[in-house]
Amino acid sequence: MSTDVKTRLEETFLSLPGDERGSIITLGVTLKLSYLRKRLFLAESKLQQFEEQYDVSLEQLDSKGLPDDADYLMHEDFIMWHHWSEVADKVRQEIAALENVAAEGLYLQASSYAGG
């Protein structure tokens, strides 16, 4: 997004009444947290699948290295295992950051947006 567009968007947003800005932020936080929690569930499910398939944790595998008889599929899974581990870590950080926003009081009506 160009600086001009970003500046215009910020100015337009700030021109809205305070309640409307709060409502938009609350809805955005609610929707984004829902999306991130689903993404975390997917990433953690993938990690669990690899751990069950190979009967070892990624940390153990990293410290020992791949077995000498590891086939092509295990090498590919190892790469994907790392990918999903990085995704899970990143998503956890994003969730924590948004939960901090929510804790600042911008999340007051979130349950009404989440169907609660």
Q: What's the domain range around 103?
A: 3-113
pLDDT in tens, 54-91: 999 999 999 999 999 999 999 999 999 999 999 999 99
Counting the structural domains of the chain, the total is 1
What does DSSP assign to residue 109?
A: T
- 6 burial via Cβ count (<10 Å: 0-12, 13-18, 19+): exposed
pLDDT in tens, 100-113: 888 876 545 444 44
Question: Would you say the pTM of this structure is higher than 0.85?
Answer: no
